[in-house]
Structure 1
């Protein structure tokens, strides 16, 4: 049986959404519930600090963000939401110190997230795939262990698995980023203060090959275990918190915001950031927190423009939360960057009055979600109707046929949903939404880096990724010479 468009009343697993007006995205969601849009297009006239040293550091990384992603998201936010992105507003107002960063790893011009994060986390470049283990087996003490030794509270927040490469790079030593079950065990031993993201499969005894119930073990070791948004909002912060909201990564922001069940159970990156600050700020000695928009990278790999742009919006809302806190606090250094570019998307031939690109304004679903709804007997006309309904794009018959023929078949003759034709669909959509892609993988581009708060004035205009490690230690007044390899 082929796909039939559901009625609004009968939708159960399809997106619960209606056509949106141009400025309605997040209208009753993030912008009103968390009090974001703190910068908008309004200039901040002074970058004043209460002290020379940073008591707190909030390190925000939009994983896999090419410059085109930042650019296109700012255009979308100005035209759809009526305001500039928080990140670009920092540049417009001259508030943030701006730099470019070289992202290479020890063995490649093109880094992966493990090596990129380890450059920040361990202060040394390592080979791709490694977490704070050098090419000759050197063990580099991760920065969160250093800050914890100094008495600061520490925490990681991400939209992918909490055991994924970027959060892990600030926390652990592992020869392979793929050792996520062991990374979950490392977190239990380290007893950091806040860990939030996805990856239930690495804590759930029914999913782990060794059958260990890490959720129970965390509870027995004094943690508060959180598994949904409502529980997170009630956290008081009297115990360290491990919050794991989903298997794998969290849903894309566009899918979460347009599905009432997901929106009620899965927090946004900004909501997690707000709660994380609330908990960590109880520490008298200050805190250091990493916030990762990890699914920006996943969307770029999939050439998924809708997912990419709205997850970058989601990340930018978290930037707003961090800057709002830093402005009020006066003792917080905020660093905003990415670990590497990915796929280098950009707007080309947007059409008269930019109509092609602005079709993304009305999109209601990620490419990944949309393709996962198609069945082996979906017809050409059904595919066209479905795409038009959810993404405001009308494919012709030839494009729809090409898409349907691009699905992989599994051994049972059904579509293999682990091999969705993401790149094929991304190229087809490029003709309609004006977003073109150079590739589907990481790039060697120098990337954007912004800093605001105590210590930001010392940020050089260009630096290598591993130099950011000592920059953070020095900004917080931590003697980096005290730390040696274990």
Structure 2
């Protein structure tokens, strides 16, 4: 099992431990550190970092499961599936987001949620749990708030018009949409849980505002139960996606919410592994974010006199994250004091309260609120973006990695333990240029609908016509549907396929 907490720096782990008041599950399996840089930058994005941990190859920002020169590279999840293991992903973001996408799909742009989602549906995974329902449906209307707090409707559509929820059902998945459905799911077979149109709520907000959504711990537990039904074993990738999202906002409350949520999921993985005695568990972050520090410019002179309570007690007054609190703001702002109190901000000075009243947008509200919280909690932030430090490596079980490693070493360790190689044998060059291969075999080759939303590679030789639709795990030989062990990938120029023989 590989568990990834997105965008997490070391200070937030320390702060979360103080906040909880006990050791973290992670603390018991600390085993080393990990380099996170991408092929082009000392500070990576989640796409390049996720792809490195999925394929064993450094790549460029925004690339999903692609080499630096833009070719699809088989992932450790795909390798495990091809080697007979059950496979699954869990995320609190949309499952089409960068990290889960990097293990399950191939695209030159992480924002291609439509293509990514379609590939995931046709990958044949055994378990998929998370958000992202909007990119499974032909059309979705999402209510969101204008900057003035008023509701508006945002249209989210699959540009190809396909209804992937129907495809999921046709592929014999048990499809669940709410927490109760997950907790009460029974029977064998494949499981797909799509619990939010976009991301699942921050854990602190979820319990109070969205109780129909499951926690990361609950999804991890359900995934392990389902995947462990097989005889051979499984590969599971779990992402605590939203530490990163809170870090981008500089919201320490949200960051703690998601670190502790992730740690609870690690506890589930460790409980299974300790009982099973044959399971490797690796936990890591893909990169730092926000440059959070315990201490700031205002603590230069008195840091020696600041016990842990001076940092965590202001944070414990919050009942919602900054996003959750601001989401409750009424259009006329008549409940502004309640919103501030929900974020732990009581007894504001007249100057501070006046600043809040003048905030023109939800983003301004959030920015002012997190700055007030950081000041009260003696915290510093250096950026709203990613950071490039080495991160902690946590590991447990047979074959576990130790010491200071690179993120590209992670899939090699996993594949070695599972008994296959991504760099040698038939898996090393799995995806090939379909146009070139079929031309070499004497076919006339063309791409139909190259600029459409449903392009198809067509190869014709005599009376035989082969048709490979983009993002699907099959092709047509005349009127016969032939199933494949992987998906067809089109990058706008080249069609990549895998056909035995």
> Considering the TM-score relative to the shorter chain, is it more than 0.5?
yes
How far off is 1:298 after superposition?
Answer: 0.3
Counterpart-to-counterpart distance in 2, 1:71 and 1:398: 32
- Tell me if the contact between 1:154 and 1:287 (Cα under 8 Å) persists in the aligned partners: yes
The one of 74, 90, 101 aligned to 2:17: 74
Alignment of 1:61-460 (within 5 A): 61-78=4-21, 83-88=22-27, 90=28, 96=29, 98-207=31-140, 208=157, 209-259=159-209, 262-263=210-211, 265-348=212-295, 349=299, 354-355=309-310, 357-375=312-330, 377-378=332-333, 383-408=336-361, 417=362, 419-456=363-400, 459-460=401-402
How far off is 1:462 after superposition?
Answer: 1.1
Counterpart-to-counterpart distance in 2, 1:356 and 1:464: 33
The one of 462, 470, 473 aligned to 2:415: 473
Counterpart-to-counterpart distance in 2, 1:195 and 1:420: 36
How far off is 1:183 after superposition?
Answer: 1.1
Relative to 1, partners in 2 of residues 1:425 and 1:86: Cα closer, same or farther, differing over 3 Å?
same
Return 5+ residue gaps in structure 1 as ranges.
1-57, 91-95, 409-416
Give the secondary-structure state (helix, strand or coil) at the position aligned to 2:71: coil
Relative to 1, partners in 2 of residues 1:360 and 1:444: Cα closer, same or farther, differing over 3 Å?
same
- Tell me if the contact between 2:314 and 2:373 (Cα under 8 Å) persists in the aligned partners: no
Give the secondary-structure state (helix, strand or coil) at the position aligned to 1:201: helix
Q: Could you report, residue by residue, the CA deviation over 1:417-460 in whole angstroms, capped at 9, with x for unpaired residues? A: 5x45433332222122223212111000100111100101xx24
Give the secondary-structure state (helix, strand or coil) at the position aligned to 2:286: coil
Return 5+ residue gaps in structure 2 as ranges.
141-156, 432-501
Counterpart-to-counterpart distance in 2, 1:296 and 1:69: 9
Q: Could you report, residue by residue, the CA deviation over 1:224-271 in whole angstroms, capped at 9, with x for unpaired residues? A: 111011111222352211111012110111111234xx22x1111001
- Tell me if the contact between 2:80 and 2:418 (Cα under 8 Å) persists in the aligned partners: no
Counterpart-to-counterpart distance in 1, 2:114 and 2:364: 26
Counterpart-to-counterpart distance in 2, 1:373 and 1:253: 16
In our comparison, the structure showing a higher alpha carbon Rg is: 2
Q: Could you report, residue by residue, the CA deviation over 1:185-238 in whole angstroms, capped at 9, with x for unpaired residues? A: 101211100010001110122222333221111101211111011111222352
Give the secondary-structure state (helix, strand or coil) at the position aligned to 1:157: strand
Counterpart-to-counterpart distance in 2, 1:385 and 1:192: 44
Q: Could you report, residue by residue, the CA deviation over 1:366-385 in whole angstroms, capped at 9, with x for unpaired residues? A: 10122233356437xx5345
Counterpart-to-counterpart distance in 2, 1:164 and 1:237: 29
Give the secondary-structure state (helix, strand or coil) at the position aligned to 1:163: coil
Give the secondary-structure state (helix, strand or coil) at the position aligned to 1:391: coil
- Tell me if the contact between 2:287 and 2:386 (Cα under 8 Å) persists in the aligned partners: yes
Which residue of 2 is the match for residue 23 of structure 1? none
Counterpart-to-counterpart distance in 2, 1:123 and 1:388: 46
Counterpart-to-counterpart distance in 2, 1:346 and 1:258: 29
Relative to 1, partners in 2 of residues 1:439 and 1:339: Cα closer, same or farther, differing over 3 Å?
same
- Say how many residue pairs are matched: 403
Which residue of 2 is the match for residue 19 of structure 1? none
Give the secondary-structure state (helix, strand or coil) at the position aligned to 2:415: helix
- Tell me if the contact between 1:300 and 1:440 (Cα under 8 Å) persists in the aligned partners: yes
- Tell me if the contact between 1:383 and 1:400 (Cα under 8 Å) persists in the aligned partners: no
Counterpart-to-counterpart distance in 2, 1:305 and 1:400: 21
How far off is 1:304 after superposition?
Answer: 1.1
Runs of 4+ with >6 A deviation: none
- Tell me if the contact between 1:103 and 1:465 (Cα under 8 Å) persists in the aligned partners: yes
Structure with the bigger RCO (C-alpha within 8 Å, sep 6+) is 1
Counterpart-to-counterpart distance in 2, 1:335 and 1:436: 30
Higher strand fraction (1 or 2): 2
Relative to 1, partners in 2 of residues 1:141 and 1:72: Cα closer, same or farther, differing over 3 Å?
same
- Tell me if the contact between 1:341 and 1:444 (Cα under 8 Å) persists in the aligned partners: yes
Relative to 1, partners in 2 of residues 1:203 and 1:383: Cα closer, same or farther, differing over 3 Å?
same
- Tell me if the contact between 1:427 and 1:436 (Cα under 8 Å) persists in the aligned partners: no
Relative to 1, partners in 2 of residues 1:389 and 1:198: Cα closer, same or farther, differing over 3 Å?
closer
How far off is 1:353 after superposition?
Answer: 7.2
How far off is 1:360 after superposition?
Answer: 1.5
Counterpart-to-counterpart distance in 2, 1:371 and 1:397: 20
